[in-house]
């Protein structure tokens, strides 16, 4: 083989190695974040600063320090990084697009135009209505009200008329989405918890269980209606639902949709919700139960109870003290 042929062969081999490296990068994900990847991000969303402003108003954030500085900290809100699925509309479309190809540690500030964020301001959505449609306690500028199923904010109340703005509070505002990619989330339980947390703004305890159950299935090539018992594998997501979570309105009204979304994304067969009741709740009811138990269980005798009732103005109470004592004494016997 001539030197020229040897050089051409070497070049071809190098090209083949490069193609193999590219193919490997595509399969192992080293080319960066792609649609469908689970990623955990930190972010702060602000309005684009207006003229004379150094920075805009904080709209949302995963940083408790930023929230405290902006005066929007809330004890019931979980200020911690969020897990999202890229390309699934969990963030604004322009942020989704900007995440493609990024790697862990990357950060950026994406400007989200108003029409993509919360829409342009529509002056026709500022309407004059009868003040009688607004609850009396809410007849002041800035009050959030719901009129005929629409949410709005009271601008003015003059006489019997009120001006209500039914635009979203951020309508017409361009936003700055400042984010950092913290990690790719590969663990399925973390993925499930992150997806639920994205809906609820709190992250529940979850676990995935693989079970084998017996099911009646139709026999192939058998007679009509013929079945047989087979063992079938099922993957279940178990969610520990605390009382606080069960009072979450998003969970109350959308649990079916949330469960379907998580099952479809992770290939699960079902979602099981465990009700969790810890010892921190029900203090008042527990105290009441103990007090009532003491009264009925001999803690206060019949004569002592009658003396206590003598101090009550029975003209204002439709109770016969003598009959009540007799009933309690009969119960003790």
Identify the residue with better confidence: 14 or 37.
37
The structure tokens listed for 297 are 């269980």
CA neighbor of 40 nearest in space, from 74, 84, 88:
84
- Return the closest-CA partner of residue 199 out of 152, 144, 261: 261
Q: Are strands 38-47 and 82-85 parallel, antiparallel or unpaired?
A: antiparallel
Identify the residue with better confidence: 49 or 285. Answer: 49
pLDDT bracket for residue 24 (50, 70, 90): very low
- Supply the angle between the helices 302-310 and 321-332 in degrees, to the nearest 10: 160
Q: How far apart are the C-alpha atoms of 8 and 6, rounded to whole Å?
A: 5
Query: Which tokens in the block code for residue 325?
Result: 């004592």
Mean pLDDT computed over 57-61: 94
Q: What are phi and psi of 332, to 5 degrees?
A: -65, -35
Domain-wise residue ranges, the chain: 1-25, 38-114, 123-165, 192-275, 283-332
CB 277 within 8 A of CB 243: yes
Assess if CATH 1.10.150.120 describes domain 38-114: no
Residue for token pair 């520990």 = 240
User: Comparing C-alpha atoms, which of 224, 190, 186, 227 is closest to residue 206?
Assistant: 190
What is the per-residue pLDDT across 288-309, written as a single tens digit (0 to 9) for each? 333 333 333 444 454 554 555 4
Task: Please give the C-alpha separations between residue 298 and each of 113, 294, 321, in angstroms, as whole numbers.
Answer: 72, 6, 17
Q: What's the CA gap between 94 and 202, in Å, rounded?
A: 25
Any residues with CB less than 8 A from the CB of 139 and at least 6 apart, and which? 131, 154, 157, 162
Assess whether pLDDT exceeds 80 at residue 212. Answer: yes
Largest separation between any pair of C-alpha atoms in the chain = 123
For 74-90, the pLDDT digits (tens) are 777 778 899 999 999 99
Average pLDDT value over all residues in the chain: 80
Tokens standing for residue 62? 């995963």
Task: State the Cα–Cα distance between residues 139 and 157, nearest whole angstrom.
Answer: 7
pLDDT > 70 in the chain, percent: 74
Q: What is the mean pLDDT of residues 38-43?
A: 96
CATH number, span 123-165: 2.40.10
Q: What is the rounded CA–CA span in Å between residue 182 and residue 31?
A: 17
Q: What is the dihedral of CA 300, 301, 307, 308, to 10 degrees?
A: 20
CA distance 238 to 73: 31
- Dihedral of alpha carbons 132, 135, 136, 141, sign: negative
pLDDT confidence bin for 228, thresholds 50/70/90: confident
Q: What is the mean pLDDT of residues 208-229?
A: 81
The pLDDT score that the predictor gives to residue 318 is 53
Assess whether pLDDT exceeds 90 at residue 45.
yes
What is the DSSP annotation of 108-161?
Answer: EEEEE-TTTTT----GGGEEEEEGGGS-GGG-STT-EEEETTEEEEEEEEETTE
**Residue 41 in tokens:** 């991000």
Q: Return the pLDDT at 325.
A: 53
Q: Do domains 38-114 and 123-165 have the same CATH topology?
A: no
């Amino acid at each position: 083989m001539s030197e020229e042929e040897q050089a051409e062969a070497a070049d071809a081999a190098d090209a083949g190695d490069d193609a193999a490296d590219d193919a490997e990068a595509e399969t192992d994900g080293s080319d960066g974040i792609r649609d469908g990847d689970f990623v955990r991000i930190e972010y702060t969303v602000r309005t684009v600063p207006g003229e004379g402003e150094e920075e805009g108003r904080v709209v949302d954030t995963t940083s408790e320090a930023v929230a405290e500085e902006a005066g929007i900290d809330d004890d019931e809100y979980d200020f911690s990084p969020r897990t999202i699925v890229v390309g699934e509309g969990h963030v604004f479309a322009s942020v989704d697009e900007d995440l493609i190809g990024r790697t862990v540690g990357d950060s950026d500030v994406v400007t989200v135009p108003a029409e993509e964020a919360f829409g342009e301001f529509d002056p026709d959505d500022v309407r004059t209505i009868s003040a009688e449609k607004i609850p009396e306690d809410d007849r002041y500028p800035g009050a959030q009200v719901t009129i005929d199923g629409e949410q709005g904010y009271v601008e003015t109340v003059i006489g019997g008329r009120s001006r209500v703005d039914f635009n979203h509070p951020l309508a017409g505002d361009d936003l700055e989405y400042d984010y950092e990619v913290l990690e790719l989330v590969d663990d399925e339980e973390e993925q499930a918890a992150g997806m639920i947390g994205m809906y609820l703004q709190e992250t529940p305890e979850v676990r995935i269980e693989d079970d084998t159950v017996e099911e009646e299935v139709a026999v192939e090539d058998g007679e009509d209606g013929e079945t047989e018992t087979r063992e079938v594998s099922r993957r279940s997501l178990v969610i520990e639902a605390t009382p606080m979570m069960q009072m979450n309105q998003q969970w109350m009204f959308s649990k079916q949709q949330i469960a379907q979304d998580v099952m479809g994304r992770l290939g699960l067969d079902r979602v099981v919700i465990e009700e969790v009741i810890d010892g921190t709740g029900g203090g008042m009811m527990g105290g009441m139960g103990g007090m009532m138990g003491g009264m009925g269980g001999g803690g206060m005798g019949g004569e002592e109870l009658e003396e206590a009732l003598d101090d009550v103005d029975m003209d204002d109470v439709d109770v016969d003290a003598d009959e009540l004592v007799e009933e309690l004494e009969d119960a003790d016997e």
